[in-house]
């Protein structure tokens, strides 16, 4: 154990039950080693309300810390080791522009249910809650999109067009049922196709769009008979060429099953490299797990063991500044999250 790791262990011990550390699966090993719980967005959202600690330290990107702050109990504070660790995709949906688009769409007398991926800012979650919509994760996107479609009218899915298209295909929606919106600073720049069932915001994940069909073909050529899995934020043409796609939790389960049921097999996983590397190490004695390509999230990487130590030390000294949320945004934003948790049975 190096000096930083020992110092984190010591300060956590001194803080006892007053602090609880959450970590996303995309965090590096030196941070994950000190997390009380690791998970994907849905898992971590579900567990926040059960945490009794006065301080929650969230090792992830900013929107995740905001979500935890929305779901935290009165008197609890949520801390992020690096406040600049933003999700690039979450920044692709400015609230002012999204509001203009919703006003333009509903101004035509149509019912629009906005469905926002949790990779969005507090402002977007509040806007979605205000318009009667909900949030979703990659794990429950199918269930939430089906819910939104059942409300009548059309659904505005934002910000990830790839997750939206891949989920729509699983639900049986045709290409003619969908439209990727054309958007500028003043809202819609083209009204073509806006009467369709599913309207898609033109955002995407910088990490998962790096995977290509050519990479899938190259993997199959190098390891005939291999199995290839992808995250549903990947391009549709990549998903079509893979053996299966699913959330981070799904990928972890599939890796475990491959190791148990198909020893000596080769499994490629198309998602953030920190997770793939961790799964490869966990199952190295039983099967070969490889990244389709080494795609790393630079924002997740901003959270380091040293920054975690600094955050914990500041909490101990009553100097840490927790995440602050706009009071006016809390209720509608929380409503969009609570709708998701209710539909998915908490």
22 shares its domain with 104: no
Kindly tell me if the per-residue pLDDT of 129 is higher than 90: yes
Nearest Cα neighbor of 260 from 282, 235, 238 is 282
Would you say residue 341 lies in a domain?
no
Convert the pLDDT of each residue in 7-34 to its tens digit. Answer: 999 999 999 999 999 999 999 999 999 9
102 shares its domain with 163: yes
136 shares its domain with 219: no
Convert the pLDDT of each residue in 284-341 to its tens digit. Answer: 999 999 999 999 999 999 999 999 999 999 999 999 999 998 888 999 998 998 899 8
Determine the 3-state secondary structure of 207 from DSSP.
coil
Per-residue pLDDT, 40:
85
Please, which pLDDT band fits residue 1 given cuts at 50, 70 and 90? confident
Per-residue pLDDT, 70:
85
194 shares its domain with 100: yes
Would you say residue 339 lies in a domain?
no
308 shares its domain with 262: no
Q: Which domain holds residue 223?
A: 208-291
Mean pLDDT for the stretch of residues 226-248? 97
Per-chain mean pLDDT for the chain: 94
Would you say residue 340 lies in a domain?
no
Please, which pLDDT band fits residue 67 given cuts at 50, 70 and 90? confident
Inter-CA distances, 19 with 14, 15, 79, 308, 314, Å: 10, 6, 10, 12, 12
Q: Two tokens at 79?
A: 């801390």
> Tell me, what DSSP letter sits at residue 285?
T
| Total domains, the chain | 3
Convert the pLDDT of each residue in 77-98 to its tens digit. Answer: 999 999 999 999 999 999 999 9
Convert the pLDDT of each residue in 190-209 to its tens digit. Answer: 999 999 999 999 999 999 99
| Cα(196)–Cα(229) distance, integer angstroms | 30
Per-residue pLDDT, 346:
58
Determine the 3-state secondary structure of 116 from DSSP.
strand
Residue 247's domain is classified under what CATH number?
3.40.50.10800
Q: Where are the alpha helices (DSSP H) in 207-326?
A: 213-222, 236-241, 248-261, 273-282, 305-316
- The sheet with strand 112-117 has its strands ordered as 134-136, 112-117, 154-158, 198-200, 178-180
Convert the pLDDT of each residue in 94-119 to its tens digit. Answer: 999 999 999 999 998 889 999 999 99
197 shares its domain with 244: no
Q: Which residue has the higher pLDDT, 41 or 136?
A: 136
Convert the pLDDT of each residue in 260-283 to its tens digit. Answer: 999 999 999 999 999 999 999 999
In this prediction the pTM is 0.91
Would you say residue 46 lies in a domain?
yes
| Lowest mean per-residue pLDDT among 39-43, 49-53, 181-185 | 39-43
Work out the angle at residue 138's Cα, subtended by the Cα atoms of residues 55 and 177, and round it to the nearest 5 degrees: 140
Mean pLDDT for the stretch of residues 233-262? 96
Domain boundary among 291, 308, 335: 291
Per-residue pLDDT, 42:
72
116 shares its domain with 183: yes
113 shares its domain with 193: yes
């Amino acid at each position: 154990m190096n000096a930083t790791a020992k110092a984190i262990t010591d300060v956590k011990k001194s803080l006892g039950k007053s602090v609880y550390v959450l970590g996303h699966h995309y965090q590096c090993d030196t941070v994950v080693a000190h997390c009380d719980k690791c998970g994907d967005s849905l898992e971590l959202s579900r567990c926040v309300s059960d945490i009794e600690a006065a301080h929650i330290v969230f090792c992830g990107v900013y929107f995740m810390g905001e979500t935890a702050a929305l779901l935290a109990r009165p008197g609890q504070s949520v801390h992020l080791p690096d406040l600049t660790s933003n999700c690039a995709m979450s920044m692709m949906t400015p609230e002012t522009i999204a509001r203009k688009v919703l006003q333009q769409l509903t101004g035509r007398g149509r019912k629009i249910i906005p469905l926002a991926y949790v990779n969005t800012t507090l402002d977007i979650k509040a806007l979605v809650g205000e318009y009667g919509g909900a949030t979703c994760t990659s794990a429950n996107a199918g269930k939430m999109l089906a819910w939104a479609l059942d409300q009548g009218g059309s659904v505005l899915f934002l910000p990830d067009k790839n997750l939206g298209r891949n989920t729509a295909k699983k639900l049986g929606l045709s290409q003619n049922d969908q439209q990727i919106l054309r958007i500028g600073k003043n809202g819609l720049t083209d009204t073509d196709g806006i009467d369709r069932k599913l309207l898609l915001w033109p955002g995407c994940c910088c990490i998962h769009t790096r995977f290509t069909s050519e990479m899938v073909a190259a993997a199959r050529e190098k390891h005939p008979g291999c199995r290839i899995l992808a995250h549903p934020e990947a391009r549709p043409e990549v998903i079509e060429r893979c053996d299966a796609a699913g959330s981070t939790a799904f990928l972890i389960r599939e890796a475990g099953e491959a190791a148990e049921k198909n020893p000596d097999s080769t499994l490629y996983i198309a998602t953030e490299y920190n997770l793939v590397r961790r799964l490869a190490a966990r199952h190295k004695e039983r099967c070969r797990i490889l990244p389709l390509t080494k795609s790393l999230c630079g924002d997740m990487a901003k959270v380091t063991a040293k920054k975690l130590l600094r955050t914990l030390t500041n909490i101990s000294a009553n100097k840490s500044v927790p995440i602050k949320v706009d009071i006016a945004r809390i209720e509608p934003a929380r409503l969009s999250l609570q709708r998701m948790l209710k539909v998915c049975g908490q």
